[in-house]
Chains A and B, each alone.
Chain A
Amino acid sequence: MWRVWVPLTTNGRTLIMNPASQQAASTIDPTLLTRVVKGEQQAFSRLYDLSSTLLYSLAVRILGNREEAAELLQEVYLEVWRKAARYDVSRGTPIAWLITLTRSRAIDRLRTRGTRALRQTGQPLDLPAAGRVADQHPTPLDAQADQELRQLVYDALAGLPPVQQQAIELAYYDGLSHAEIAIKLNQPLGTVKPRITLGMSKLRESLRPYWEQRDHS
C-alpha cells in the first residue's frame, strides 16, 4: 500500500517516513510471525533476512565474540521457529520481542561463563554508521526506516553526558545492576541510579516524536 511521505521534526532534524519502511527491521509486520507459526519457510527466511544483522550485532556487542554470537543467533532463531506462537502482538512489536529474546539469552550466557570481568566494559556505546565510516557491505538495515531510526538513536545517545551513556551501556549490554556498576566504576553507591534515570528520561524525550509519528502513520 502506498503511503504518503510525512516530514517529522525532532531535535532540529527532519525525518521522512516512506514506503520503504515496510522492508525494515524496525517495522517487521506481525503477520510475518503469524506465517512463521504456520510453518512457512519463506516467512522464516524473510524474518531472518530482516532481523539477523541487528540481532547478530547485539549478540556480538554483549558477548564480545563473533563465533559465540553466531551460535547464540542459531539458538535464538530455532527457538523463534519453535515458539513463535508465543509472540503476542499486544505486548510489543516483533523486533522488540526478538531483541528481548536475544539480549536475555546473551546475558544468560555471559553470566554462565562468568567471564564478565575479563571483558572490556565501560566504553561508550557504539555509534551508527552515520557517525563513522559506512559499513563495507550493505545490510538489510540499510532500509530507509532503519536508517532513520539509527540516526535518531545515534543523535539521542550523542546528546547524553558520557557518564549517563556509560551507565546505561553497562546495565543494558553487560547485565550489571546499578550497585555492580557503582563498584565497577569505583563510584559511591547512589550515584549510578540518577545517571541511568536521567539518561533514560532524556532518551525517551528524544525518541518520543518518532513513536508518535509511527503511531499516526
Chain B
Amino acid sequence: MTHEDLEDTIPLYAVGALERGERQAIEAHLLSGCVPCHSALKDYQSVAFVLPFGLNMTAPPHGLKATIMAARTSAALQETEAQQSEKPSLEPGEWMNHLFPPEIPSKHTPSFRWVLGLAVAIVIAGGGYTTWTAYNTQVAADSARLAQVQDQAAAARSELATLQRQIDERDESLAQSREELERRAMDIVELKDQLIQREAELEVAIAQLTEQGKKPVRVPQDELAALLRTPNAKAIALSGTEMTKQASGMLLYDSRTQKAWLYTLNLPECPNGMTYQLWAMSEKPVSIGTFHVGAAETSHVFVKPFRDFMSAKTFSVSLEPDGGRPQPTGPVYLLSHS
C-alpha cells in the first residue's frame, strides 16, 4: 500500500468506517510519525467531532441530572466499574490512543509444514520493519496502561485526602461539642451551689425572725430543698442574654407535683408597669407565669404549676407589660441553652 493509498483512508478512519486490517495499517503508518497524515487526521477528526452538532437536539430527562449527581457515591461507582468490565473500544483520556493497534490473540489452527515454512519465510522477510513496528506498538500500549494505572492511583489518593479531611472536621466538631457540654454541666453545678447557699441564708433569716417572736414566714424553700435532693428532678440552666449578661437562672421541675421552679440571680429590677414572664417554647410559646423583681433583689424564686414541662424544647424569660402577654413581645433576659 502506497503512502497515497494510506492518506486516502484517513477520512474513513476518522469517521470509523475502516475494516480492522485497514485500521491497523493506517495506525502503523501514523506511528511511523508521518506529519502530513497526522495533520490530515487532526482535520478529519475535527470534522467528526462536530457532526453531532448537526443533530436535532433533544433535552435529557429532567430527573437524569439528579440521578447522576446522587450516583457519584463510591458504591455506585464501583458498580459502574463492574458493569464496564467488558473492555470498551475507547477509554476516556485515551481517545487518541486508538492509534495503537489492539493486541490480537493468536489462533492455534491446524497447519501443514509447508504453511509453517511459508509463515516463517514471511516473518523473516518482514524483518526489522515488523519487529520495529511491533516493538513500538507494545511500548505504546504499555505506556497507555501505565498512564491508566497512574491516573487511578491519583484519583484514589485524592479521594483518600477528601475522606481524611472530613474525618478531621468531624473530630474537631465532636471536641467542641464535648467542651460545650462540660461547660454547661459546670454552670448547672455552680447554680445548684448558689441555690443551696441562698437556701441556707433563708433558713438563718427565718430562725432570726422566729427568735424575735415574729410569726415564721411560710416559704416554699423547704419544698425546694426537698426537690433539690430528688435524684430525678429535671434541672435546666438559663443564661443572661445581651440585655443582662450577668443574670442567670435555674429552672427545676418536680414531676411528682408538676411544679416548675425558677430561681433567678441578678435580674434587673422590673420598671414600673412591667413584669417578667416565663415561657416554655415548644411548637409555639406557652406562658408559665409572671413574676416581679423588685429593687435590690438579687435573687428570686418563682413557683408555678405546669404540666407540659417535658414537651418544651427551650425556656425563656422576657420583660412584658403587667399581667403578661399571650405571646412574647418584650426583650428576652434569660434563655435556656437547648
* Alpha-carbon distance A73/B71, docked complex (angstroms): 12
B116 at the interface (CB under 8 A from A): no
**Residues on the B chain within 8 Å of A168, using CB:** 15, 51
Task: Decide: A200 and B68 in contact? CB cutoff 8 A.
Answer: no
Task: Decide: B54 and A157 in contact? CB cutoff 8 A.
Answer: yes
Taking chain A's interface residues, is the majority helix, strand, or loop, or is none over half, making it mixed? Answer: helix
Taking the nearest CB of chain B, how far is it from the CB of A95, in angstroms? Answer: 7
Task: Decide: B54 and A128 in contact? CB cutoff 8 A.
Answer: yes
**Residues on the A chain within 8 Å of B58, using CB:** 53, 56-57, 60, 66
Q: How extensive is the interface on chain B, given as a class?
A: 35 or more
**Residues on the A chain within 8 Å of B54, using CB:** 125-128, 150, 153-154, 157
Task: Decide: B53 and A150 in contact? CB cutoff 8 A.
Answer: yes
Taking the nearest CB of chain B, how far is it from the CB of A55, in angstroms? Answer: 8
Taking the nearest CB of chain B, how far is it from the CB of A34, in angstroms? Answer: 13
Q: CB within 8 Å of B: which of A150-206?
A: 150, 153-154, 157, 167-168, 171-172, 175-179, 181, 192-193, 196-197, 200-201, 203-204
**Residues on the A chain within 8 Å of B57, using CB:** 53-54, 57, 128-129, 135, 139, 141
Task: Decide: B60 and A52 in contact? CB cutoff 8 A.
Answer: yes
Task: Decide: A107 and B89 in contact? CB cutoff 8 A.
Answer: yes
Give the size of the chain A interface in residues (CB under 8 angstroms). 86
* Alpha-carbon distance A99/B11, docked complex (angstroms): 18
**Residues on the B chain within 8 Å of A70, using CB:** 60-61, 64
* Alpha-carbon distance A179/B46, docked complex (angstroms): 24
Decide: A99 near B92, CB < 8 A? Known: A57-B58, A60-B58.
Answer: no
Decide: A73 near B148, CB < 8 A? Known: A57-B56, A178-B17.
Answer: no
* Alpha-carbon distance A7/B300, docked complex (angstroms): 84
B296 at the interface (CB under 8 A from A): no
Binds B, one of A10-18, A81-89, A114-122: A81-89
Task: Decide: B55 and A126 in contact? CB cutoff 8 A.
Answer: yes
Taking the nearest CB of chain B, how far is it from the CB of A146, in angstroms? Answer: 7
Which residue among A141, A146, A168 has the maximum number of chain B CB atoms within 10 Å of its CB?
A168
Task: Decide: B55 and A193 in contact? CB cutoff 8 A.
Answer: no
Task: Decide: B90 and A100 in contact? CB cutoff 8 A.
Answer: yes
Taking the nearest CB of chain B, how far is it from the CB of A203, in angstroms? Answer: 5
Question: Scoring B residues 81 to 111 as 1 if CB is less than 8 Å from chain A, else 0, what string do you get?
Answer: 1011010111111111000000000000000
**Residues on the A chain within 8 Å of B9, using CB:** 193
Could you say which of A49, A83, A108, A167 contacts B89, with CB atoms under 8 Å apart? A108
Binds A, one of B121-129, B151-159, B195-203: B151-159
**Residues on the A chain within 8 Å of B93, using CB:** 83, 85-88, 97
Task: Decide: B53 and A128 in contact? CB cutoff 8 A.
Answer: yes
Taking the nearest CB of chain B, how far is it from the CB of A210, in angstroms? Answer: 8
Decide: A87 near B56, CB < 8 A? Known: A75-B80, A200-B15.
Answer: no
Taking chain B's interface residues, is the majority helix, strand, or loop, or is none over half, making it mixed? Answer: helix
Task: Decide: B84 and A75 in contact? CB cutoff 8 A.
Answer: yes
Question: Scoring A residues 32 to 52 as 1 if CB is less than 8 Å from chain B, else 0, what string do you get?
Answer: 000001110100110011001
B185 at the interface (CB under 8 A from A): no
Task: Decide: A39 and B158 in contact? CB cutoff 8 A.
Answer: yes
**Residues on the B chain within 8 Å of A78, using CB:** 68, 71-72, 76-77, 80
* Alpha-carbon distance A201/B9, docked complex (angstroms): 12
Task: Decide: B89 and A48 in contact? CB cutoff 8 A.
Answer: no
Task: Decide: A53 and B17 in contact? CB cutoff 8 A.
Answer: no
**Residues on the A chain within 8 Å of B294, using CB:** none
**Residues on the B chain within 8 Å of A84, using CB:** 92
Taking the nearest CB of chain B, how far is it from the CB of A100, in angstroms? Answer: 4
**Residues on the B chain within 8 Å of A83, using CB:** 91-93, 151, 155
* Alpha-carbon distance A137/B61, docked complex (angstroms): 12
* Alpha-carbon distance A39/B154, docked complex (angstroms): 12
Which A residues have a C-beta under 8 Å from some C-beta of B?
Answer: 26, 37-39, 41, 44-45, 48-49, 52-54, 56-58, 60-61, 66, 70, 73-75, 77-88, 91-93, 95-97, 99-101, 103-105, 107-108, 112, 125-129, 132, 135, 137, 139, 141, 146, 149-150, 153-154, 157, 167-168, 171-172, 175-179, 181, 192-193, 196-197, 200-201, 203-204, 207-208, 211
Sort A-B residue pairs by CB-CB distance and give the 8 closest, nearest first.
Answer: A86-B93, A171-B17, A200-B11, A56-B60, A104-B90, A153-B54, A96-B49, A126-B56
A–B complex contacts, Cβ < 8 Å, 11 sampled? A38-B158, A39-B158, A56-B58, A75-B84, A78-B71, A79-B80, A96-B45, A104-B95, A153-B53, A172-B51, A196-B17
A103-B52, A107-B16 are known contacts; what are 7 more A-B pairs with Cβ within 8 Å?
Answer: A78-B68, A88-B93, A91-B96, A105-B88, A153-B50, A200-B15, A208-B43
